[in-house]
């Protein structure tokens, strides 16, 4: 089952859900399919693990990363640059917005109303059942409600990102899929896709998964670890 996304796609989720890894890998996936991709880093809350940390690797693949001005790169301020507004007013290909965690991070979206007026926008909530506050369906729905209130936008789809870092197994992914499906059904919105570490994809039994699966190559790692090769054309041993 193919993952096809174009237009304006906003990635939101609870703190620690892995939404930034999802945004980075989604950008790489669609770029490899020939879609022109621009990724805007709107995470103005978390000083660590932002999509801007992978900008050099993304740039090498031809993916444009829109960032705050250099003098504000490490600032936690509500900065919306003309570049972000411009890419939203005249969207082409896939416009990805990586937004800060929880409802606090989503507050920045409230300033985008005029730029998004009259456009088709997909707002995807990334969920991980192995993180605080999103280990239950009701918890995920509460996070959704809080984000929507601050963003002044409705979430339109769910992304399942079940993982326990290096301890993730095929069972983790399959159980996470079932959980994500329950959240989507309870919220009356579609499960757009789930994720799985690229190294697990060849071993994952996907016969009972009825949605696309996005391969994840981790980029946002501690200083003592190396990020995985982002280029999907490079075969994994």
Using the predicted structure, report yes or no on whether residue 187 has a pLDDT greater than 50.
yes
pLDDT in tens, 88-111: 777 788 999 998 777 777 777 877
pLDDT at res. 142:
96
Burial category of 167 from C-beta neighbours within 10 Å (exposed 0-12, middle 13-18, buried 19 and up): exposed
Distance between CA atoms of residues 27 and 96, nearest Å:
7
Considering all CA atoms of the chain, what is the largest pairwise distance in Å, rounded to the nearest integer? 49
CA distances from 63 to 5, 22, 29, 41, 201 (A): 15, 15, 11, 13, 24
Average pLDDT taken over every residue of the chain = 85
Residue bearing the bigger pLDDT, 14 or 226: 14
pLDDT band at 77 (very low <50, low <70, confident <90, very high): very low
pLDDT at res. 157:
98
Which residues share a beta bridge with 125?
12, 158
Q: What is the dihedral of CA 229, 31, 54, 1, to 10 degrees?
A: -70
pLDDT at res. 44:
63
Q: What is the mean pLDDT of residues 65-92?
A: 65
Structural domains of the chain in order of their starting residue, each with its CATH number: 7-216 (3.40.50.300)
Residue bearing the bigger pLDDT, 60 or 183: 183
pLDDT at res. 171:
95
pLDDT band at 13 (very low <50, low <70, confident <90, very high): very high
pLDDT at res. 143:
95
Q: How many residues does the chain have?
A: 237
Q: Model-level pTM? A: 0.90
pLDDT at res. 113:
75
Distance between CA atoms of residues 117 and 100, nearest Å:
22
Nearest to 160 by CA among 188, 123, 205, 196: 196
pLDDT band at 22 (very low <50, low <70, confident <90, very high): very high
Residue bearing the bigger pLDDT, 208 or 156: 156
Which residues share a beta bridge with 66?
40
Tokens, residue 147: 């984000």
Using the predicted structure, report yes or no on whether residue 54 has a pLDDT greater than 90.
no
Q: What are phi and psi of 180, to 5 degrees?
A: -60, -40
pLDDT band at 80 (very low <50, low <70, confident <90, very high): low
Q: What are phi and psi of 231, to 5 degrees?
A: -65, 115
């Amino acid at each position: 089952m193919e993952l096809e996304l174009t237009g304006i796609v906003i990635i939101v989720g609870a703190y620690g859900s892995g939404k930034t890894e999802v945004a980075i890998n989604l950008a790489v996936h669609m770029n490899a399919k020939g879609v022109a991709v621009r990724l805007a880093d709107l995470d103005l809350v978390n000083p660590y693990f932002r999509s801007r940390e992978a900008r050099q690797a993304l740039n090498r693949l031809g993916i444009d990363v829109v960032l705050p001005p250099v003098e504000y790169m490490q600032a936690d301020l509500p900065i919306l640059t003309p570049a972000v507004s411009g890419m939203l007013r005249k969207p082409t290909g896939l416009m990805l917005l990586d937004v800060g965690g929880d409802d606090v991070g989503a507050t920045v979206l409230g300033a985008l109303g005029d730029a998004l007026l009259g456009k088709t926008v997909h707002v995807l909530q990334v969920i991980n059942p192995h993180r605080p506050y999103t280990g239950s369906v009701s918890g995920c729905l509460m996070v959704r409600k809080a984000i929507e209130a601050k963003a002044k936008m409705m979430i339109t789809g769910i992304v399942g990102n079940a993982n326990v870092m290096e301890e993730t197994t095929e069972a983790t992914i399959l159980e996470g899929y079932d959980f994500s499906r329950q959240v989507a059904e309870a919220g009356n919105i579609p499960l757009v896709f789930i994720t799985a570490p690229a190294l697990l994809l060849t071993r994952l039994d996907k016969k009972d998964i009825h949605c696309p699966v996005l391969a994840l190559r981790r980029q946002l790692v501690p200083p003592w670890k190396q990020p995985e090769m982002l280029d999907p054309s490079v075969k994994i041993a």
